[in-house]
Amino acid sequence: MGRVIVIMGSGSDLPFAERIRKFLADENFPVECLFEVASAHRTPDVLLQRLETYEKSGGDLVYITVAGLSDALSGVVAGCTKRPVIACPPDLEKFGWAKAFSSAMTPKGVPVLLATRPENAALAAAKILALANRSLYKSIEDYMSKRRAETLKAGETLRKQP
């Protein structure tokens, strides 16, 4: 089973990050979702220690970073892992493109992907994990079919209105 490791910069990020776990569970994606709190600014030693533990644990995993304000967390995680890193900043709507820049503009060789919604970060992580675990494709297809049906139903409802 693949794992999604959600690393938050502080405990105040938990309500936003919880949407990642909820989406994976609600949509029946068979992945494990683990939470960590470790700040690149306040507890870099703890962050590096936890990353080392995950890196040594093996298996398929994707990191999702949830960090407000200056997002050093995403770049530090990406610089210390061979695994994919998806930044999902909780304050993007508040700070706009400056925040996106802070999260995703990293040096060459330190890739960070950017997802603006926790649900999209979770889905992207599941799609990445599906590359190694083909059984995840069924869950992805089911989710996409459900969204398609919702859209078609909404269009049908509008056409029936006078």
The angle at the Cα of 64, spanning 143 to 106, to the nearest 5 degrees, equals 125
Q: Tell me the CATH number at 104.
A: 3.40.50.1970
> How many other CB atoms are there within 10 angstroms of residue 126's CB atom?
24
pLDDT in tens, 104-150: 889 999 999 999 999 999 999 999 999 999 999 999 999 999 999 99
Total structural domains in the chain?
Answer: 1
pLDDT in tens, 19-34: 999 999 999 999 999 9
83, β-bridge pairs: none
Please give the pLDDT value at position 46: 97
How far is residue 160 CA from its own chain's centroid?
38
Q: Could you list the residue range(s) of the whole structural domain that residue 50 is in?
A: 3-160
> How many other CB atoms are there within 10 angstroms of residue 38's CB atom?
22
Fill in the amino acid letter for 65. Answer: T
Residue that the structure tokens 């938990």 belong to: 14
> What is the overall mean pLDDT for the chain?
95
| 69, pLDDT greater than 90 | no
